[in-house]
Structure 1
Amino acid sequence: MRIGFRTLKTAIGVSLSVLIAGQLGLLNFASAGILTLLCIQKTRRQSFNAIWERLLACLVAIAVSGLLFELVGYHALLFVLIFLILIPLCVKLRCTGGIASSSVIMMHIYVQKGLTLSFIGNELMIILIGLGMSLVVNLYMPGVERQIQELRRRIETRIENILRELAVYLKDGTSLWDGRELLELTALLEQARALGIQTTENDFSGRRSVFYTYYETRRKQVDILKTMMPLVSQVDARVEQGQRIGEFLDDLADHWNTIPGGRDYHERLRAIREYHRELPLPETREEFETRASLYAMANELERFILTLA
Structure 2
Amino acid sequence: MKIGLRTIKTAVAATLALLAANALQLLFAPAAGIIAVLSVGNTKRTSLMTAIYRVSSLILATIIAFICFQILGFNPIAFGVYLLLFIGVSVRLGLEDGIVVNSVLVTHYMIEASFAPALILNEFFLMGLGVGFALLFNLVMPDLQKKLKEDQLVIEEMFRNLLQKMAKYLNQPEQEAKLLDECNGLLSFINDAQKRAVLHQENQWMAKNGYFKEYFAMRRTQLRVLGDMIDLLDHIYVDEEIIYGVRHLLQITSEQFAEANDGKQILAEIYQVYENYRQKPLPQTREEFENRARLFQFLQSFTTFIQIKAEFTKQS
Aligned residue number for residue 243 of structure 1: 244
Q: For each residue in 1:59-97, what CA deviation from the matched residue of structure 2 results, as whole angstroms up to 9, or x when unmatched?
A: 111121123223321111222211111111111221011
Any conservation in 1 of the 2:37–2:134 contact (CA below 8 Å)?
yes
**1:20-59 equivalence runs, <5 A:** 20-59=20-59
Aligned residue number for residue 3 of structure 1: 3
Alpha-carbon distance between aligned partners in 1 of 2:44 and 2:200, rounded to the nearest angstrom: 10
Any conservation in 1 of the 2:156–2:257 contact (CA below 8 Å)?
no
Alpha-carbon distance between aligned partners in 1 of 2:196 and 2:263, rounded to the nearest angstrom: 27
Alpha-carbon distance between aligned partners in 2 of 1:95 and 1:142, rounded to the nearest angstrom: 29
Aligned residue number for residue 144 of structure 1: 144
Letter in 1 for 2:58: C
Shift of 1:154: 2.7
Aligned residue number for residue 13 of structure 2: 13
**1:64-143 equivalence runs, <5 A:** 64-143=64-143
**1:277-292 equivalence runs, <5 A:** 277-292=278-293
Q: For each residue in 1:2-61, what CA deviation from the matched residue of structure 2 results, as whole angstroms up to 9, or x when unmatched?
A: 211111111111111001111111111110111111111111222122112211111111
Counterpart of 1:260 in 2: which secondary structure?
A: coil
Aligned residue number for residue 190 of structure 1: 191
Any conservation in 2 of the 1:171–1:243 contact (CA below 8 Å)?
no
Shift of 1:187: 0.9
Alpha-carbon distance between aligned partners in 1 of 2:229 and 2:176, rounded to the nearest angstrom: 17
How many residue pairs get matched?
Answer: 309
Letter in 2 for 1:89: V
Aligned residue number for residue 252 of structure 1: 253
CA RMSD of aligned residues (A): 1.9
Letter in 1 for 2:31: S
Alpha-carbon distance between aligned partners in 2 of 1:242 and 1:253, rounded to the nearest angstrom: 17
Query: Structure 1: which 5+ residue stretches go unaligned?
Result: none
Any conservation in 1 of the 2:176–2:231 contact (CA below 8 Å)?
no
Aligned residue number for residue 262 of structure 2: 261
Shift of 1:100: 0.6
Counterpart of 2:178 in 1: which secondary structure?
A: coil
Letter in 1 for 2:99: I
Q: For each residue in 1:240-278, what CA deviation from the matched residue of structure 2 results, as whole angstroms up to 9, or x when unmatched?
A: 221221122012111111653124222221111001001
Shift of 1:174: 6.4
Any conservation in 1 of the 2:44–2:203 contact (CA below 8 Å)?
yes
Q: For each residue in 1:204-231, what CA deviation from the matched residue of structure 2 results, as whole angstroms up to 9, or x when unmatched?
A: 2352422112112211210110111111
Identity level (%): 28
Any conservation in 1 of the 2:68–2:79 contact (CA below 8 Å)?
no
Counterpart of 1:178 in 2: which secondary structure?
A: helix
Alpha-carbon distance between aligned partners in 2 of 1:186 and 1:270, rounded to the nearest angstrom: 29
For the structure 1 residues 173 and 18, does the alpha-carbon distance in structure 2 shift closer, same or farther, using more than 3 Å as the test?
closer
TM-score, scaled to structure 1: 0.93
Counterpart of 1:77 in 2: which secondary structure?
A: helix
Alpha-carbon distance between aligned partners in 2 of 1:131 and 1:155, rounded to the nearest angstrom: 39
Alpha-carbon distance between aligned partners in 2 of 1:238 and 1:173, rounded to the nearest angstrom: 14
Alpha-carbon distance between aligned partners in 2 of 1:39 and 1:74, rounded to the nearest angstrom: 29
TM-score, scaled to structure 2: 0.92
